[in-house]
Chains A and B, each alone.
Chain A
Amino acid sequence: MTIEYFIFMLINGLSQGMLLFIIASGLSLVFGVLRVINFAHGSLYMIGAFVAFSLSTLMAGGTLYSFLVLLLVVPPILGVIGLLLEVSLFRRVYGQEHLLQLLLTYALVLILDDLVRVVWGGDPRNVARPEILAGSVDVLGLALPTYNVFILAVGPIIAFGLWFLLYRTRTGNVIRAAVSYPDTLGALGVNVSWVMTSTFMLGCWLAGLGGVLTAALANIDLGIGMEKIIECFAVVVIGGLGSVGGALLGSLIIGTGITFFQLPFGRWALVFPYALMALVLIWRPWGLFGKPER
């Protein structure tokens, strides 16, 4: 393996990882505050991708302008869907046994996935990339797909944004306090249920962003939600449930892992996330970045 090829693979793997991070960080954030593992996160991501597809056909997409519109419009749409779901359903199961919470979100998977099928049908679709992101860029004499480099740039921006929000703003203090001491926070006069709603909306916003970015990267079809939610599980389990930093690490490990294992193992590389998830759960159930709960 030449060094150029190695770098090529690394860029490819890291961009896959960054895309995964954008989606999985939402799942992790929501779990951290709401203590609910949202099975439907993958479905929301899929809805994001399909809404992006529909909007782009409406705008006869392919231009940079329309792609920016997608990036600005679709995630907030998902945020609003999140608002509705949180207020009408999720709120009712906080603090109940986790079987009921899991099943509530699973019920949403069934409903949302089927709605997507009824609305958009089962054909694979995609969103045309704007011309400026469609070609390849020259880096050290390597022709790298521009879009992958673009995702590689968006990922750290999101990671930094989340870090800044969580650790450098008052809102972040409140969110982090809601993770550890929800009761104290309420006693201090903070509207905890509003904190939960906003966090859930932020999680859905991230799912929507991941959906838009995916729609322009590859074909989207009805299976992507279920596939992605399990990968996200792997990510948050490896990183530690509720830890955004852990989600970043987990995403990059899985993204690069799958890419590099494809050389020696071919299709078998796809087994890697699940094997790693099982190993981490056995060895450190609370994840690499998490803390033991008991």
Chain B
Amino acid sequence: MDKSPSNNNISWIAGVVVAVALFVLPLVLARFGKTGEYWIWVTTEMIIMALFAMSLNLILGFGGMVSFGHAAFFGVGAYTVALLMKKAGWPLYLALPAAPVVAAITAAIIGWFCVRLLGLYFSILTLAFSQLLYMIVFQWYTFTGGDDGIHGIPRPESLGAINYYWLCVVLFLICFLVMRMIVNSSFGLSIRTIRENLERAKFIGINVRRYQLINFIIAGAFAGLAGGLLTELNRFAQTEFLHWSKSAEPILASLVGGMYSLVGPAIGSAVLMFLKIILQQLHRSMVEMWAIVLGLILLVVVLFAPGGLVGLYDRFFGKSES
């Protein structure tokens, strides 16, 4: 049943084609002037949010732990970059690597408490911690700027829109390969064993809590990187990055794309963002209705296609039972 990324040649070729296409895309888009610039910005954000969604899926799809507080680490990464660059004057190449590190440390502290709980209680505790962080960031005006956020984060001269896009693509691909390695390693296998049957996992000698904690920290680190990247793209950090509704975004993306595969959440995330923009283009008032549309999509997926798009693809093209 388990749908690990298949190791066959076709998926490798497809992966290389997609990667090359991602690299060439901005060159094509750049020919379209203003619209092109807009789309370069949009695709950069898509790539970052795809990374965020994939990071959550390490604990959600592969670990079977429903975290409703993943935005905490996204936000911590974002504020790390913002504060280090704006207040401490660090350059980007130092501040950006700091984001996953600080996020990982935060995840280690929060995760240490959370992995002690199961199921619903785990979900609520992650939610409690992320709201706690949210409130702290919200109230601490002198340090985080409260709900004004932190604006005007500097951007190095050399990083124009296209260069920044490429930076994000490179980091995304590296993260993807690392995650792929993790998921297919013996560690990844143990994590999935825990998801399938906790008792049996304990019985065969897996230290469940430690594995879940490590997984939680890894996922937090990737989320922190995504947060840092988005902050530098938008050149601001705001409290919304930590709000619980932000935590729901990668869950939706995973659900829509399919949470039992590595790329599923990335696809889901891109599809959702794309859909939003299409609606925006169709009619301006449709932006107002976006949440309703998103809610309806979610209802349909929950009720009729819990496997998401990847699950549907597998069902119709019958490559699931490998």
- A in complex with B: yes
**Residue B30, interface by CB 8 Å:** no
Which residue of the partner chain, among A107, A117, A267, A271, contacts B295 with CB atoms under 8 Å? Answer: A107
A interface size (C-beta, 8 A): 40
Q: Using CB atoms, name the residue of chain A closest to B125.
A: A281
Residues of A within 8 A of B166 (CB): none
Q: Is the CB of B117 within 8 A of A99?
A: no
Tell me the bound Cα distance from A234 to B296 in angstroms. Answer: 28
Residues of A within 8 A of B299 (CB): 89, 104, 107-108, 111
Which of A5-13, A55-63, A204-212, A272-280 interfaces with chain B?
Answer: A272-280
Q: Which of B251-292 contact A (CB under 8 A)?
A: 251-252, 255, 288-292
A46 CB to nearest B CB, Å: 14
Secondary structure of the A contact surface, majority rule? helix
Q: Is the CB of B292 within 8 A of A114?
A: yes
**Residue A102, interface by CB 8 Å:** yes
Quick one: CB contact mask for A233-266 with B, threshold 8 Å, 1 for yes?
Answer: 1100100010000000000000000000000000
Q: Is the CB of B291 within 8 A of A114?
A: yes
Q: Which of B88-114 contact A (CB under 8 A)?
A: 113
Q: B residues engaging A (CB < 8 A)?
A: 60, 66, 68, 113, 116-121, 123-125, 127-129, 131-132, 135-136, 139, 244-245, 248, 251-252, 255, 288-292, 294-296, 298-299, 302-303, 306
B202 CB to nearest A CB, Å: 13
Q: Is the CB of A281 within 8 A of B117?
A: yes
Residues of A within 8 A of B117 (CB): 281, 285
Q: Is the CB of A118 within 8 A of B289?
A: yes
A100-B302, A102-B68 known; A281 and B128 CB under 8 Å? Answer: yes
Secondary structure of the B contact surface, majority rule? helix
A89-B299, A100-B302 known; A230 and B292 CB under 8 Å? Answer: no
Tell me the bound Cα distance from A270 to B255 in angstroms. Answer: 33
**Residue A93, interface by CB 8 Å:** yes
Residues of B within 8 A of A99 (CB): 60, 66, 251
Q: Is the CB of B120 within 8 A of A111?
A: no
Residues of B within 8 A of A104 (CB): 298-299, 302-303
**Residue A110, interface by CB 8 Å:** yes
Known: A107-B298, A110-B292, A278-B128. 5 other contacts (CB 8 A): A93-B303, A99-B66, A103-B251, A106-B248, A107-B299
Q: Using CB atoms, name the residue of chain A closest to B292.
A: A114
**Residue A168, interface by CB 8 Å:** no
Which residue of the partner chain, among A100, A111, A285, contacts B291 with CB atoms under 8 Å? Answer: A111
Tell me the bound Cα distance from A110 to B292 in angstroms. Answer: 6
Q: Using CB atoms, name the residue of chain B closest to A226.
A: B245
A111-B291, A111-B292 known; A237 and B139 CB under 8 Å? Answer: no
